[in-house]
Amino acid sequence: MEWMTTTTVLDRLRDAADHSAWSGFVERYQGPVASFGRKTGLSQADADDVAQDTMMAFLESYRKGAYQRGRGKLSQFLFGIARHKILHARRKTGVAPGQVSYGADAAGLLAELPEADALQQAWETEWRQSILMQCLERVREEVAPQTFEAFRLVAVEQVEPAKVAVQLGMTRNAVFIAKHRVATRLRQLCAACEEEQ
């Protein structure tokens, strides 16, 4: 995926003829909306429909000037649309208001929260996860495969750095440098994305 800032994507969305901007926007944001819908109790098909409806509603609103960057975050504007579409879909399909399942460990907590708070929390978790995954992909494209693999094994898989060094034919120090380099770049990209959202 071509890396574009949110500002660039939004600027290009104003041009109805720029189909690559629309594709980039959908690729970036439709997945998190669909996943969010699934975690609020919708079937995969209903969640996909909600995500598509959310994307279309956003585009229509955006081109009419309803979303203005200085007045709020994109994530919250999308949340408002997605929430409305999800609640409508849940009413249509008969999903009970308390049925929000965001992982076994969080299910009890979410069931006790008012629906709006549970939805907001689930959305923010999904949004952060989406940003993290996009930034991880970007870092993967920027660094050598061995560097990224060293980071993945140590930071994600929690493999001992000495074992990673042997596995990848690196020194232990090189593994620590790779982990630090990728983690630093990941923090930079995530911070930039969060500022824009």
Give per-residue pLDDT as tens, 165-194.
999 999 999 999 999 999 999 999 888 776
Q: Where in the chain is the domain with CATH 1.10.1740.10?
A: 1-131
pLDDT digits (tens, 9 = 90+) for 11-26: 777 777 777 878 888 8
pLDDT at 117 over 90: no
Write down the pTM of the prediction: 0.70
> 């970007």: which residue's tokens?
138
The CATH classification number of 143-197 equals 1.10.10
Q: Cβ neighbours of residue 140 under 8 Å, at least 6 residues apart? A: 148
Please determine, looking at this structure, whether the domain spanning 1-131 carries the CATH number 1.10.1740.10.
Answer: yes
